[in-house]
Amino acid sequence: MKKFAIAVHGGCGSQDKNMSEVEKQALHELMTQVVNAGKKILERGGSAVDAVEASVMVMENDPIFNAGRGGTYNSLGEIELDASIMNGKNFACGAVAGVRTVANPVKLARAVMEQSKNVFLICGGAERFAEELGFTKMLPDYFHTESRYKRYLAALAEEEAAKSLPELKKGTVGAVALDCNGDLAAATSTGGILMKKYGRVGDTPIIGAGTYADNRTCAVSCTGTGEEFIRYNVARDVSNKMEYLGYDIFNATDAVINPERGKLQPDDGGLVAVDRFGNVAWQCTCDTLLRGTADSDGRFETGIWTEGEPQFYQKANGNEIEK
């Protein structure tokens, strides 16, 4: 079997350190489903683009994630969604921002990449393009989740107090993959930050900031404070350090994300990445990064914390082993 690898993330800095063991296990099982959605495609010889789209769509469809159906509310009480996808084989890419009626923004981003001459469509234009392609138009109720709406109301009542809630800090989902043909791909999707200014766009749909893929180096998907990832072109910077400085993927991600080496600060966010050899790396300045990894060598891991225990659970012969 030729080598393949996939890594996914469900956002950083948004998990409660005091969660119960049952809640932790539920998150590991959820991330297992997300990883498997892409892994099954790669095992069959499918493309990296198909794999990252499939894994991201699982998260967009689950209201626990701040993407798609679980998108958070902006300052006007509306849900605006962003997404992007990139093919490292030919640098094809597509992105959408500020969409309100599309269940799976990552699918629309791929349509922009493959069925238009453009790279980036926003708001009403992106939604009209979706309608032309036959996408089902979703009503606002589809995206409404009671837990996020309660936090929105709390933020309206007392914004500073609401910021202390773990779920409000960060939230973006993404996936990166290497397929058996040696092609890399990355995809990212988000509902943005709670109480964001109407019309605000973060790094997620910006190629090079929140998403990047290049067969010569790596594929990267980011999560965190979008403004910082835009300023420092984080996803592309990882690739640049590999291409121009000869860094491996582990040193490159650390050089970009580690506050002691790069420009990001504690709690700014993190990323997952995979290189052309199937090596997977993740780096984060937050306490938590919900993530998962699988490859053709049998590795299968999911994680929540960036330090401390438990850090990973590995599935071996169907049994979960805490490392």
Q: What is the pLDDT of residues 219-269, one digit of tens each?
A: 999 999 999 999 999 999 999 999 999 999 999 999 999 999 999 999 999
Does position 158 have pLDDT exceeding 90, yes or no? no
Q: Measure the CA–CA gap between 216 and 198, rounded to whole angstroms.
A: 38
Q: What is the pLDDT of residues 95-113, one digit of tens each?
A: 999 999 999 999 999 999 9
Does position 314 have pLDDT exceeding 90, yes or no? no
Does position 35 have pLDDT exceeding 70, yes or no? yes
Query: How high is the pLDDT of residue 205?
Result: 98
- 172 catalytic residue (yes or no): yes
- CA distances 247 to 11, 174, 204, 241, 319, Å, are 26, 23, 24, 6, 36
Average pLDDT, the chain: 91
Phi and psi (nearest 5°) for 38?
-85, -40
Give the residue carrying structure tokens 């790596």.
218
Query: How high is the pLDDT of residue 313?
Result: 43
Q: What percent of the chain has pLDDT over 70?
A: 91
- Active-site residue among 172, 188, 253, 306? 172
Q: Which segment, 64-78, 124-138, 189-203, is predicted with the most confidence on average?
A: 124-138
Q: What percent of the chain has pLDDT over 90?
A: 81
Determine the residue type at 122. I
Q: Measure the CA–CA gap between 8 and 33, rounded to whole angstroms.
A: 11
Asked which of 17-26, 94-103, 189-198 is least confident by mean pLDDT, the reply is 17-26
Are the C-beta atoms of 293 and 175 separated by less than 8 Å?
Answer: no
Q: How far is CA 320 from the centre of its chain?
A: 25
Domains of the chain: 5-322 (3.60.20.30)
Report the DSSP pairing between strands 211-213 and 184-190: unpaired
Q: Measure the CA–CA gap between 291 and 312, rounded to whole angstroms.
A: 9
